[in-house]
A and B are shown apart, each in its own frame.
Chain A
Amino acid sequence: MSEVTANESAYEIVESEPAELLGRNLGSAGHLLASATAFFFLAFVFAYFYLRSLNNAGMWRPNHVHPSITLGTIVTALVAAAALVVRLGLADQRVGRRVQCRTKGAIALALGVAAVVLQIVEWESIDFGPASGGYASVFFGWTAALMLFLLGTIYWLETLLATAYRYRNVPHNNPPPGEASGDRYRTGHDIIEPLSLVTPGLEALTFYWSFLAGITVLAWVVLYLL
């Protein structure tokens, strides 16, 4: 046996990791995910300006290709507002106003879902299709990808919100035995006070949602204003 590991026991050792460690992981993951997201959308930014500058066969943007600037603006505003509300919710969570935080989380969730719904309405209502030239291709590709990322972010918020609601009456940060274990044969917890991870989770989400709102604003400027 080695001097740094002496026994073969497993769960007694691995359980009870400090929540701060996972909190740090979540924080770094939020930033790394934003980096990956930036490079993903960089491809669409490149596609927009590259195809626009080439204007092959004069088909970059035929005259009838005009998205609804009203709907586009509303979608962008909803995503940005949701990011703001999540940020306010985080402020509530940090000072212990858990009820207000949950309320703001629910509002942000509704705003995010509304943005997705309105984007679908826009796709249905505009009078051009994906085959209407280079601009139309970029428009549909970029907005569809953005909605996929937004749906993922909404899922992330929903998990935090659901945890906050489920354990709203639990006085400490310990859920009942067996509820915080990935293994159905275990009753212990992997993490000490796993419910305390709501705050770092919300911090990471707030950063990422703000970043995604930035991407949405960029898309709005490029696709609707330029």
Chain B
Amino acid sequence: MTDEFVPPRKRTGWRRLLGYNLLTALILAVVGYYVGWIAGHHVTGKSVAYFSDIDQNDISVFLAYILAVIGFLLGLGFGAYPFARVRGYPPSLREKESEGIGRYFSLCTDHKVVGIQYLFGIGVFFFIGGVNAMLIRFELLRPSMQAFPAGQYLTLVGLHGTMMMGIMSSAILGPFANYVVPLMIGARRMAFPRIESLTFWILMAAGTVLATTVFFGGFPTGWTGYQPLNDQANAGMDSYIVFFALVGISMTLLGLNMIATIVTMRAPGLTWSRLPIFCWGVLSTAILNLLAAPVLVAVLGMAMLDRTAQTSFFLPSAGGSPYLYENLFWVFGHPEVYILALPGMGIVLELLPVFARKPLWGYRLAVSGLLGVTLLSWLVWQHHLFVSGINSDLRPFYMLSTELISIPTGFTFLCGLMTLWRGQIRYTVPLLFCLAWFFNFLIGGLSGVFLSDVPSDTTTHGSFFSMAHFHYTIMGGLVFAFFAAIYFWVPKMFGLQLNERLGKIHFWTMFISFNSTFAPLFVIGFLDQPRRAVTYAPSLQFLNDWVSISAFVLGASMLVFVGNLVYSLLFVRLPAPANPWDSRSLEWQLPSPVPVHNFDRIPVIAGDPYDYGSAAPPVAVVPAGGVS
């Protein structure tokens, strides 16, 4: 092969702005948007279904969004390779892997760059979702309306929920699995590097589309998009549909890429029984991504056809049924809950042996727990419809299947706790977040029993009780693990240390305020305050005020984290040791930050990543000879 490298000529001045980059992408997105808008008005001069009398043209809105996203992706350079393939050029793997800061703002096929792109991209939308939460709690400081009318409040709740559920689906797989999994398995790249980058940029386009719903009047359905409201809502609903469909496409491709990478690209010697438990968590999640997200895309496609082509999938008067949507949505929606939870379990189990200085207890049991949750998560979706008029004969099955899922979940708990048992525990910031995960997820799991049990669900469903439950499960399970991962792997990603003291302040303020925010919501729920209602009984004001103030402190704790990030990475810039946690995992045997190609030679895995305290051989050895 020819290995000649011709350095790029440096562009100067405004010429640097030319080419495939974020600026071009934004310009083409705007052009695409208006082309779609105009084309939509030519397809049909007036709107369809419910909207003809108010001059609303959903075809225009959908076309505008779709062409805007296509323009955005073309501007980033995603069209060049497929076009080259159409003309017969052979496959290649890499683009923009060794250029400077610009690679973070365009298509880059280096999995480490994509991981960092995900970290900051998701952070932006997490911030927007968090600001929405603050506004919701501000509104609920008083029992009557104060800042937002009911319609705007519903949009606010919907934006918060949809942004968090959609974008945070990739919160672990996006930044950490993309960055770490190839390093852990001894690979130089992901199986499909362009698809890896595509998943990120689709997600960013999706988040932007959702944010623009405010220009079309918002949407009234919350994150579930239930029918018949979905069909009847104004054009803001189109933003929701396009957003979640894009998220579904991104999730499917992310899952496909992860599975292909783990299955086919493991280094020699990395048998399934030596695979790091985090990779098992990623694999389980990726399976759910691959199979559940297409159902979401399909059902949203049906909703789009109802709103544009006058089909009647969800219109009972024309042969459809809103329950069709509810069923199909939850076929995706309940595995989605585990898409959020499983990677958190993987991170906690991965980090505990490092800080307990003990092997992972019950490795096979932990793996079976993760796979058991993956399997059972398909059999529980109708517990969301217990009070929606489903056939009562179906209830016992879904009640039992939901309660059954606590068994494999319990396996992961058992393995985690037994790993800590008699360990030489180091109370670092990542470990504190892992310990908080146990506490939060336990409360989330126990309160889930009330919602899986039909008699208690009939009184708690739709109240703040269920809201408290899923925040304990998802924020307590996912976001705490997310921060554990950040504190653990940032030294690897940037080669710099985060400030330990600020990290601990962040942890304690977040942990205390999180519990102070969501624990009282169980009580508020038992006292019958419904979700998504802007007013509530005056007798509940004290509890609501308590929750709101705690939520503001929770929001402030995030600012401590952002401050730590800025302070440590931009100002102090203290170099991190090569292996600050004394981990045996393969990614910590590499320099920080990791070189573009990861490994000079593909290593041979010769040991177990969790053999702490034993005289086992090193985890990886480098084969003598040429490049593998």
Instruction: Report A's interface with B, CB cutoff 8 A.
Output: 1-17, 21-22, 24-25, 28-29, 32-33, 35-37, 39-44, 46-47, 50-51, 54-57, 59-61, 129-131, 133-138, 140-141, 144-145, 155, 158-159, 162-167, 174-175, 177, 179-183, 185-192, 194-195, 197, 201
Task: Report Cα–Cα, A79/B188, bound state, in Å.
Answer: 38
How many residues on the B side are at the interface (Cβ–Cβ under 8 A)?
A: 84
Q: A2-B589, A47-B324, A60-B319 are in contact. Are A37 and B600 (CB under 8 A)?
A: no
Task: Report Cα–Cα, A22/B620, bound state, in Å.
Answer: 24
Q: Which 9 A-B pairs have the closest CB atoms?
A: A134-B319, A59-B319, A166-B88, A162-B88, A43-B298, A137-B311, A40-B294, A133-B319, A194-B90
Q: A36-B294, A162-B88, A179-B90 are in contact. Are A140 and B311 (CB under 8 A)?
A: yes
Tell me the nearest residue of chain B to A189, going by C-beta.
B1
A59 touches B256 (CB 8 A): no
Q: Closest Cβ of chain B: how far from A118's Cβ, in Å? A: 20
Quick one: which of B94, B316, B319 has the most chain A CB within 10 A?
A: B319
- On chain B, the residues within 8 Å of A192 by CB distance are 1
Partner pick for B256 among A15, A29, A165, A175, CB 8 A cutoff: A29
- On chain A, the residues within 8 Å of B578 by CB distance are 2
Partner pick for A57 among B93, B293, B319, CB 8 A cutoff: B319
A159 touches B86 (CB 8 A): yes
Quick one: which of B1, B601, B603 has the most chain A CB within 10 A?
A: B1
A134 touches B312 (CB 8 A): yes
A28 touches B90 (CB 8 A): no
Q: A3-B622, A25-B191 are in contact. Are A188 and B2 (CB under 8 A)?
A: yes
B319 touches A51 (CB 8 A): yes
Task: Report Cα–Cα, A195/B89, bound state, in Å.
Answer: 9
Task: Report Cα–Cα, A195/B290, bound state, in Å.
Answer: 29
Task: Report Cα–Cα, A181/B591, bound state, in Å.
Answer: 27
Quick one: which of A5, A6, A42, A50 has the most chain B CB within 10 A?
A: A5
Q: A40-B295, A59-B318 are in contact. Are A29 and B312 (CB under 8 A)?
A: no
A56 touches B87 (CB 8 A): no
B614 at the interface (CB under 8 A from A): no
- On chain B, the residues within 8 Å of A129 by CB distance are 310
Q: Closest Cβ of chain B: how far from A6's Cβ, in Å? A: 6
B311 touches A6 (CB 8 A): no
- On chain A, the residues within 8 Å of B252 by CB distance are 36
Q: Closest Cβ of chain A: how far from B203's Cβ, in Å? A: 17
Q: Closest Cβ of chain A: how far from B99's Cβ, in Å? A: 9
Q: Closest Cβ of chain B: how far from A53's Cβ, in Å? A: 10
Interface segment, one of B139-147, B169-177, B257-265, B365-373:
B257-265
Q: Closest Cβ of chain A: how far from B257's Cβ, in Å? A: 8
B79 at the interface (CB under 8 A from A): no
Q: A134-B312, A162-B86, A180-B90 are in contact. Are A51 and B256 (CB under 8 A)?
A: no
Interface segment, one of B4-12, B116-124, B436-444:
B4-12
Partner pick for A163 among B4, B90, B321, B331, CB 8 A cutoff: B90
Interface segment, one of B205-213, B299-307, B336-344, B348-356:
B299-307
B590 at the interface (CB under 8 A from A): yes
20 inter-chain pairs at a CB distance below 8 angstroms, sorted by A residue, are A4-B586, A4-B601, A13-B600, A14-B596, A16-B1, A32-B256, A36-B256, A39-B291, A59-B312, A59-B318, A131-B318, A134-B313, A134-B318, A137-B312, A137-B319, A166-B88, A175-B89, A181-B94, A182-B93, A191-B90
B309 touches A39 (CB 8 A): no
Q: A10-B97, A185-B8 are in contact. Are A145 and B301 (CB under 8 A)?
A: yes
A165 touches B88 (CB 8 A): yes
Indicate with 1 or 0, residue by residue over B609-628, a CB within 8 angstroms of chain A CB atoms.
00000000000101000010
B600 touches A4 (CB 8 A): yes
- On chain B, the residues within 8 Å of A46 by CB distance are 324, 327-328, 331
Task: Report Cα–Cα, A37/B256, bound state, in Å.
Answer: 12
B3 touches A11 (CB 8 A): yes
- On chain A, the residues within 8 Å of B88 by CB distance are 159, 162-167
B302 touches A47 (CB 8 A): yes
A36 touches B290 (CB 8 A): yes
A11 touches B5 (CB 8 A): yes
- On chain B, the residues within 8 Å of A188 by CB distance are 1-5
B622 touches A28 (CB 8 A): no
Q: Closest Cβ of chain A: how far from B300's Cβ, in Å? A: 10
Q: Closest Cβ of chain A: how far from B272's Cβ, in Å? A: 15
Task: Report Cα–Cα, A28/B3, bound state, in Å.
Answer: 29
Partner pick for A24 among B85, B264, B302, B601, CB 8 A cutoff: B264
- On chain A, the residues within 8 Å of B595 by CB distance are 5, 7-8, 10
- On chain B, the residues within 8 Å of A185 by CB distance are 5-8
Q: Contacts A32-B255, A50-B324, A155-B86 known; list 11 others, CB within 8 Å.
A: A4-B603, A28-B260, A36-B255, A36-B291, A59-B318, A131-B310, A163-B85, A164-B88, A182-B93, A183-B97, A188-B1
Task: Report Cα–Cα, A191/B7, bound state, in Å.
Answer: 20
B92 touches A133 (CB 8 A): no
- On chain B, the residues within 8 Å of A39 by CB distance are 291-292, 294-295
- On chain B, the residues within 8 Å of A159 by CB distance are 82, 85-86, 88
Indicate with 1 or 0, residue by residue over B358-388, a CB within 8 angstroms of chain A CB atoms.
0000000000000000000000000000000
Task: Report Cα–Cα, A195/B590, bound state, in Å.
Answer: 33
Q: A4-B589, A50-B327 are in contact. Are A57 and B260 (CB under 8 A)?
A: no
Tell me the nearest residue of chain B to A56, going by C-beta.
B316
B424 at the interface (CB under 8 A from A): no
B42 at the interface (CB under 8 A from A): no
A130 touches B6 (CB 8 A): no
Q: A130-B311, A137-B305 are in contact. Are A183 and B95 (CB under 8 A)?
A: yes
A182 touches B302 (CB 8 A): no
Task: Report Cα–Cα, A95/B261, bound state, in Å.
Answer: 30
Task: Report Cα–Cα, A13/B291, bound state, in Å.
Answer: 36
Indicate with 1 or 0, residue by residue over B57-97, a CB within 8 angstroms of chain A CB atoms.
00000000000000000000000011001111111111111
A29 touches B89 (CB 8 A): no
Quick one: which of A17, A47, A181, A185 has the most chain B CB within 10 A?
A: A47
Q: Which B residues between 1 and 39 are near A, CB-CB below 8 angstroms?
A: 1-8
Task: Report Cα–Cα, A21/B93, bound state, in Å.
Answer: 12
Task: Report Cα–Cα, A180/B600, bound state, in Å.
Answer: 22
Tell me the nearest residue of chain B to A145, going by C-beta.
B301
A163 touches B89 (CB 8 A): yes
Tell me the nearest residue of chain A to B306, going by C-beta.
A137
- On chain A, the residues within 8 Å of B293 by CB distance are 36
B319 touches A40 (CB 8 A): no
Task: Report Cα–Cα, A130/B311, bound state, in Å.
Answer: 5
A55 touches B188 (CB 8 A): no
A191 touches B265 (CB 8 A): no
B264 touches A195 (CB 8 A): no
- On chain B, the residues within 8 Å of A201 by CB distance are 91
- On chain A, the residues within 8 Å of B8 by CB distance are 185
Partner pick for A54 among B321, B594, B627, CB 8 A cutoff: B321
A14 touches B298 (CB 8 A): no
B597 at the interface (CB under 8 A from A): yes
A186 touches B260 (CB 8 A): no
B109 at the interface (CB under 8 A from A): yes
Task: Report Cα–Cα, A7/B86, bound state, in Å.
Answer: 37
Task: Report Cα–Cα, A40/B596, bound state, in Å.
Answer: 36
- On chain B, the residues within 8 Å of A59 by CB distance are 312, 317-319
B94 touches A190 (CB 8 A): yes
B259 touches A32 (CB 8 A): yes
